[in-house]
Structure 1
């Protein structure tokens, strides 16, 4: 039985300034690229969470040095990748999908496993792609083994990446070290999380890799990977519950260090929250969201920003009109089946949520307190916290599961409400 956290209710409009730690998505991409670089790298302001520590641990096991440096940075010193080794991916999609293409460059058998639910997460497309590229892979889901030979021919491969953009990103990140590089073509329903693919391509280009892309095709040319210094942006998706608090309470929340230009999908919050009744202003690196006194329903495709869905669904349950969240069928394969989880938990508090083939229909109803189960999913914790601002006696299950991406969430949440 997981412990319960009494989500604090707001006793008035919040007025807070929040400083968030680094982006998980950027930190784990930076770690992979640094492990493949020609020289050491210094990763400044990395996120330290379960997912990033698992990534650092996996790379260390393969022979890469990831050491503490001044001011909380990580110094990454690449070395010959080697096995045999056994890697724990936890429940981290970036680790289970980014590291196998790297492990193919190691010598020896590299075994992968993770949390029980990780064995249910889609892996088939990227493992099949590695086989098509000449890599020996045993298994189609966790646990599986990559037989590294120290080199990968590379070349062209076609996959269905509609289940996760991470299938494409994982192949692209390792591809500079493949003899022919890689050309990845997607065939199937739209690839979700386009912003994360843009992030991958941008970060590859930033370390000197030659990349190209077109509709449903991405190319990475073989060559060196430059080391050096990398600055990690704050995690904008983790800003979602804090900025949402401004709408719920009719208050004001400022997130410090918001980049003027970014590939992070969390940047869409400024537009989404405005559409739901708030206002957003940007000034010298600070994004401030103010509540407008009411939360409006929204009809929106969240396919490219799916990691914001849980918080947007919580806001929709508190809105003054119905909402429809579309383009997110692939979220059934996330840390949990998020569509089923949101439906069950909001309805368990008296809500009216209906699961659709590609999303959710949410009709606001008066909510009551109760247990909000989170299924070991950090985004579900954040959704429960947002609901708890307006609904007394919401008990959120397993607060520590936010350690996946934001271990400080409970402290930051409490501080915001002071």
Structure 2
């Protein structure tokens, strides 16, 4: 059940924000590590995981399938795989990672597995991954719209082989199939047919992590992924800080002309740090890496940009907030697929940024944002953590931005309101 709404007045900064933040682990890495651990041939440990709504629901979903998931310690989770079995009921909440990553695993279970989630989860697209599973011989029943509620009739094995998917709506359609593919009897040769797959860095994260678990993966042919059948090995996963979750804090440095360092950033990352650095530099920030972590410094200037955000679409809401505060217009394109995220993010951003005074032109795949004199307003968050982050960033320099619900940030960072309020005291 959805939590009670928590209205929240976004705090404004009184000067440059200068601080070091320590943030929980990446949601994307935590989710992938949990699924790979559940399908492995032995025990796995996940160090520095993200404890948030999405990952708590993922743990519950895996337990329902017969996996032992010990999340008692905040900094070290232990997963002991077992025979996957039904009957089981899995609540996906509003998490794309659960609704796209667990049905292929459920097909490997012995028994029936039912999936459902929050009301908006029923609107999130699933058709392409379900079509691919059906083509591989998996028996399932979906809603009339091709998504949740969903029933997977697990047969204890999936033969595998070749499948085609149109993953232009979400890279998770590919990742979800690949994560379980090594356990398919014949492995999987998956081919994408359709417009370009968005969020390529997330696909690379999936294939890197599969190889780290012992899978043989060939992605040398564009839009084709081959996973050989074979065991996945239990191992220790060390989760990086969440780059998308850090973005609002970096944005605070840029809006206020301050400096924010994300502590604990690894020397080599599986997240799209290069793309983020390019974007923030274009917007007028300075990005540096050192032993202290990843640092973003505001220069006192926010510039308008023209950018294709298809590879880093999760960052669109906060980048849009920065664009609304910039000294010139911005055009952000290449993100049509985010209309199928937690909400239709393009429409939501157009509405809410317009409410605070920005001039907005909405395109099928993005927005043109004309900064104007901004003012306070009620900012609808649409049960979407990234919309809340965007509102908080605008509130730093625009008094009176009232979020309809800050509780939705619990999806990936439950302590966001407290961290953000503390941040503004460092200004």
Match of 1:133 in 2: 136
Match of 1:178 in 2: 184
Helix, strand or coil for the counterpart of 2:287? strand
1:310 to 305, 314, 317: 317
Q: Do the aligned partners of 1:136 and 1:148 also contact (CA within 8 Å) in 2?
A: yes
Match of 2:340 in 1: 333
Q: Do the aligned partners of 1:175 and 1:220 also contact (CA within 8 Å) in 2?
A: yes
> Once the 2 structures are TM-superposed, how far is the Cα of residue 263 of structure 1 from its aligned partner?
2.2
Give matches, 1:355-366, under 5 Å. 355-366=362-373
Match of 2:272 in 1: 265
> Once the 2 structures are TM-superposed, how far is the Cα of residue 415 of structure 1 from its aligned partner?
1.6
Match of 1:206 in 2: 212
Match of 1:23 in 2: 26
1:32 to 15, 19, 35: 35
Hey, what's the Cα distance between the residues in 2 that align with 1:229 and 1:121? 32
Helix, strand or coil for the counterpart of 1:177? coil
Match of 1:106 in 2: 109
Match of 2:163 in 1: 157
Match of 1:148 in 2: 154
Helix, strand or coil for the counterpart of 1:254? strand
> Once the 2 structures are TM-superposed, how far is the Cα of residue 260 of structure 1 from its aligned partner?
2.1
Q: Do the aligned partners of 1:104 and 1:146 also contact (CA within 8 Å) in 2?
A: yes
TM-score by length of 2: 0.96
Q: Do the aligned partners of 1:44 and 1:73 also contact (CA within 8 Å) in 2?
A: yes
> Once the 2 structures are TM-superposed, how far is the Cα of residue 351 of structure 1 from its aligned partner?
1.2
Unaligned 5+ residue runs, structure 1? Answer: none
> Once the 2 structures are TM-superposed, how far is the Cα of residue 264 of structure 1 from its aligned partner?
1.3
1:46 equivalenced with 2:53 (yes/no): no
Match of 2:12 in 1: 9
1:39-67: CA deviation from partner (whole Å, max 9, x where unpaired): 01011111000000111100000000001
- In the comparison of the two structures, how many residue pairs are matched? 418
What is the aligned-residue RMSD (CA, Å)? 1.1
Hey, what's the Cα distance between the residues in 1 that align with 2:311 and 2:20? 27
Q: Do the aligned partners of 1:239 and 1:266 also contact (CA within 8 Å) in 2?
A: no
Match of 1:396 in 2: 403
1:253 equivalenced with 2:256 (yes/no): no
Helix, strand or coil for the counterpart of 2:29? helix
Hey, what's the Cα distance between the residues in 1 that align with 2:379 and 2:267? 36
> Once the 2 structures are TM-superposed, how far is the Cα of residue 159 of structure 1 from its aligned partner?
1.0
1:220 equivalenced with 2:227 (yes/no): yes
Match of 1:321 in 2: 328
> Once the 2 structures are TM-superposed, how far is the Cα of residue 72 of structure 1 from its aligned partner?
2.5
Match of 2:383 in 1: 376
Hey, what's the Cα distance between the residues in 1 that align with 2:285 and 2:174? 35
